[in-house]
A and B are shown apart, each in its own frame.
Chain A
Amino acid sequence: MLRKVAIISARQTTYEENKSDERFQEMCYPLVKECLEETGLDFVPGRGIDFGITNSDDFFDQRTISDGPMGDLVGTGRWGGEEKVATDGAMAVMYAAAGIASGHYDIVIVLAHAKESQVDSRNIVTFHTFEPFFTRFLGMDYTQALGLQAESYMHKWGVTEKQLAEVSVRAAKNGKNNPFAQRTDKITAKDVLGSKVISAPIRELDLYPVSDGAVCMILAEEKKARALTEKPVWITGYGNCYDSYFLGDRNLWESMSLSKAAWSAYRLAGITDPMEELDLAEISVQATYQEPMWYEGLGFSEPGKGMELFESKQTDTGGKLPVNPSGGQLCGNPLLLSGIVRTTECYLQLRGEAEKRQVKGAKRALAHGTAGPAGQFHAALVLENDEGGNR
């Protein structure tokens, strides 16, 4: 990036299964207000917020041009503009950063929202990601795709359901420290293995819950960032990548696009050994098998050794590289938002504001998001505070 970009403010809602007493406006507006109050900014291009990037999905919102009503919330009624990123939230952060790094804007607000509870079934939405000639006839949706990939991964590397159940257990344990998390009741491996089968081998407690929520963030170029906050969080690495579309065209047990996205980010941030050089990672785990599998793609472990790394406890809080101290997506956040929620968590960590889930002395973090069936698309961001090595 030809200009340095930092996140200077970020707020998230609590994630809940059904915010039935709120429309997206009620979810989003308080967050925007808080971010503006914190930074003292107003919607005045050139002397305040120059532009808005929104993040929503027309299908989940059941609304064409779902960024239409968002304009009011990012101040475009006064003057200004807004554009919508219609994929994982990490891309909204990346795109906002691009707008600033290009020189076109100095300060951009990002507002992401999703209410998975609004549609009768989120599977009906993700069913429509599949093409209408063949895969829809098979009744494919993301949950089924996750099942296929889980089966493939477990078979390839000999990972068992019992082992994966511990991923859920740990997520809930971490989530207990996160005031924004949704599903944090203490569970045991037995609970996981006894829960309803959704799409074998994935069970209900293996899978992220239906969730509603929103995130607001403000990004700024270096000079203004320093003027507006004592603790800017810099974006020092970014990467994203698409894999093949048809599940049969890929080896589902490994992720080419995750490695490419991650290493692109690491290269830019000057990282050669992620386990050593990162202080924490917030990764998007939609179902338990993804935790060890994403470790491999992210270069935390060798291929096939993801489960071993998890079981070594090195990725527990207090371990060498804490992963998902927030509990992650398994504790609840909408699918679309995962990357930006992960980014928000990293942001809080790097500012020492993560309260009970704080990783002490965190300087450098990885935020990860994914989109598409069975992790077809991945995005990775490396974030650092002023103490991080790469400034």
Chain B
Amino acid sequence: MTKRMRNVAITGIGQTRHRGHREDINMVELVSEAVEEVLADSRIDLKDIDCIVHGNMELFEGVHQPDMWHVLGDGAFGKAGYRITTGGTTGATLACTADHLVASGMYENVLAIGWEKQEEGMTTTGITNMADPLWEREIQTGAITGTHGVMMMNKFGEPANQAAAEIRVLMAENARKNYKAHLRIDITREDVLESRVLAWPLRLLHMCPESNGACAMLFSSEEQAKRLPQKPVWMHDHITVHRQETFDLVNMGDLDTHGEAARVLYARNGIVNPLKQIGVFEMYDPQSWWALDWIGKFLMFENGEQIDMVLNGDFAIDGKFPLNPSGGVVSSNPIGATAIIRVAEAALQIRGNAGDHQVPREVDLALASGFGGTFWTVLLLLGKDKPDK
């Protein structure tokens, strides 16, 4: 299990500017903006693309099988296509799907498109619909929960509170350098700590927005990548930990799919010291408390060492371990696209053309993560060089 039949490269990236309101276009036009950009970025001719992979959270926009309508904007007419939807992790899953489709020899150039016209639905209601209608649907509040914050405050006290606010400030700083980001705000720690309480200690500024946006990525075989001008970013590995239905924290463990994903992925790829070996991490952070908790899990910390790292500025773009140079999910969140944006941004960093939010060092290996469902994690490893296998 887990070998690679052939190499797969990311050869094109396109994303829209993610916005709170895009009433000027419909969702097909939104997708086509990203597709036009990826075609321009990769210089590939639409006729050379043989497969489109499409995904979003369909109950948000209230369109059933939107892949049918989107043929108008994503180039799928006359081509093969797959539709994979896994909730919040959809975008990351789409990257895994494209990887499988090319690595398998079945297709040569696969276009993966994640998107969401978030404003056309009621997001939290949509998310709440994930819960079992026979029991939890009355109760579940989606992503608005302070429970992790409560646990971290109990364990680490006020420094955790400060770090959660500080990590948000860092995300805003990075987003201001990324013209694609949705929320590009100038905030201080005090602003975060004084913002309105949503579910204590989760505050408004800790929370991701609802964005409209799309992101398209081109995945090609090695042969095809040779013909295309962009520096190829190689898919090394990925892992999907999509677990059980329940949030039973009492009996089912603390739902640490992040740590599990990291442990297995690192072991498979010779990553013994992620802090040193990984050049940049685009982590899916729907809220700053989760970000603070999960970065610790991904880095295999056991005693909250990440809290000091945040307060020391180690996660800045020019810091020891750059985290979310794009500004992260807390700055832009078009749910169906969000996880693939993480892959796209990680790839941009390896290519060296992320523009103003480029990490100022050569990046060899990059990580991208997706999150969704009942604490699901998808983790992808990208590299400047081809993988050994």
Contact = CB atoms under 8 A, between A and B. Distances in A.
Given A45-B1, A59-B58, A102-B5, A76 B242 contact: yes
Interface string B262-289: 0000000000000000000000000000
Indicate the size class of the contact surface on chain B: 35 or more
Interface stretch (A30-38, A242-250, A303-311, A353-361): A242-250
Interface in B237-255: 238-245, 252
Contact of A242 (B62, B79, B132): B79
A46 B1 contact: yes
A180 interface: no
Nearest to A100: B104
Contact of A83 (B3, B5, B96, B133): B96
B83 A87 contact: yes
Interface stretch (A159-167, A196-204, A278-286, A369-377): A369-377
Nearest to B372: A65
A68 B374 contact: yes
Interface string A335-348: 00000000000000
A163 to B, nearest CB: 30
Interface stretch (A125-133, A169-177, A289-297, A314-322): A125-133
B57 interface: yes
A193 interface: no
A71 B243 contact: yes
A240 B53 CA distance: 12
A376 B5 CA distance: 32
A208 interface: no
Contacts of A241: 78-81
Contacts of B211: none
Contact of B64 (A59, A72, A106, A376): A59
Contacts of B252: 77
A29 interface: no
B80 A1 contact: no
Contacts of A245: 68-69, 71-72
Nearest to B239: A81
Contacts of A102: 4-5, 99-104
Interface residues of A, number: 71
A68 B373 contact: yes
A97 B64 CA distance: 25
B67 interface: yes
A373 B69 CA distance: 10
A64 B5 contact: no
Contact of A86 (B52, B77, B83, B126): B83
B86 interface: yes
Given A64-B129, A98-B101, A101-B5, A86 B85 contact: yes
Contact of A69 (B72, B79, B100, B132): B132
A63 interface: yes
A64 B86 CA distance: 9
B143 interface: no
Contact of B84 (A23, A84, A126): A84
Interface in A1-56: 1-3, 23, 45-46, 50-51
B4 A371 contact: no
Q: Which 7 A-B pairs have the closest CB atoms?
A: A81-B240, A101-B104, A65-B87, A102-B103, A2-B105, A128-B64, A2-B5
Given A51-B240, A83-B86, A105-B1, 16 more contacts: A2-B103, A50-B1, A65-B85, A67-B242, A71-B242, A87-B67, A101-B103, A102-B99, A102-B101, A103-B2, A104-B4, A128-B62, A242-B71, A242-B78, A242-B80, A377-B68
Interface of B: 1-6, 26, 52, 55, 57-59, 62-65, 67-69, 71-72, 76-88, 93, 96-97, 99-106, 126-130, 132-134, 238-245, 252, 260, 372-374, 378
Interface of A: 1-3, 23, 45-46, 50-51, 57-59, 62-65, 67-69, 71-72, 76-77, 79-87, 91, 94-95, 97-106, 125-133, 238-245, 256-257, 260-261, 264, 371-373, 376-377
